[in-house]
Amino acid sequence: MKMETGSNDSKALISVRHLDSFYGRKQALCDVSFDIEARRIFVIMGMSGCGKSTLLKHLIGLKKSSPDTVWIDGEDVSKWGHREWNDYWLRIGVLFQNGALFNSMTVAQNIALPLAVHTNLPRDIIEIMVEMKLHMVGLSGTGHLMPSQLSGGMRKRAGLARALAMDPEILFVDEPSSGLDPITAAALDELLITLKEAFGMTLVVVTHELESAFKIGDSMIVMDGGRIIASGTPEEIRQMPDPRVQQFLNRRPDEEQRDYESYISRLCKVKRR
């Protein structure tokens, strides 16, 4: 995947160029650049703490991006005001890591909320749409339950149903399969692929589940320490000689990371009782 420098001349749906991100003085992202094509599944992979979630926040507007770093539909989002962001948010759906369901409403009310607020759809239509979304994520018949009555995996799926409520153009998913058993996780992967094919949805999936990522991804990036260490199609990534990438793919704990010497010295400092 070629990276262009300077201004954005890519025709991709979302373009990121040399994005840096800080929390106070701590740098979370360093010189991140990539493109997300429309109607494709783009996967962001990496270990915990590599900056995936921060990157997602920039793409969904929860963290401010510097000028000339993030472009959506060819527009520099640092110039966007309230109206542009609100219009964008109407086009996207976001699944947060823990589902982020509203505690004071039932599952069905959660899913219906964006439809009730933003459309003039009659209630009977909304109720049918909610049932359809619940069925899609494998939660048929649970609409009347409160979020506190659901397991973690069910909450996540309910969150996905809510993210899909408005049939978004772009779906952002943060760790879709975490907390799910293998069968349900596989079903969810199938759902994501079908969404792309049936609705022409663009999906941006943040995950550390390798199998899922390689199955659904059309293109992906691998991140480590706030930087992109690999990008390309799943096949290209699998064949990359970069040792860090191979280590990530093969799930080999890094021997260098375990600092043996300081471990021993810390053990010896423990006072005898």
- Residue numbers of the site for other proteins (CB under 8 A)? 23-24, 60-62, 86-87, 89-90, 92, 94, 96-98, 100-103, 113-122, 124-126, 128-129, 132-133, 135-136, 166-167, 194-195, 197-200
CB of residue 226 to other proteins, shortest distance in Å: 16
Residue 54 has, within 13 A of its CA and on its CB side, a CA count of: 22
Cβ atoms of 29 and 21 within 8 Å: the answer is yes
CB of residue 196 to other proteins, shortest distance in Å: 11
Instruction: Tell me the sheet residues that pair with 202.
Output: 170
CB of residue 202 to other proteins, shortest distance in Å: 15
Of 47 and 125, CB closest to other proteins: 125
Of 16 and 115, CB closest to other proteins: 115
**Cα-Cα-Cα-Cα dihedral sign, residues 95, 96, 97, 99:** negative
For 217, other C-beta atoms within 10 Å of its C-beta total 22
Of 11 and 118, CB closest to other proteins: 118
CB of residue 254 to other proteins, shortest distance in Å: 27
For residue 76, the SS3 value is strand
Cβ atoms of 216 and 176 within 8 Å: the answer is no
**Could you tell me which residues come within 8 angstroms of residue 145 by beta carbon, excluding any fewer than 6 positions away?**
106, 107
Of 148 and 250, CB closest to other proteins: 148
CB of residue 179 to other proteins, shortest distance in Å: 15
Residue 87 has, within 13 A of its CA and on its CB side, a CA count of: 8
φ, ψ (nearest 5 deg) of residue 113: -55, -55
CB of residue 62 to other proteins, shortest distance in Å: 5
Of 126 and 180, CB closest to other proteins: 126
* Tokens standing for residue 184: 């349900």
Of 165 and 228, CB closest to other proteins: 165
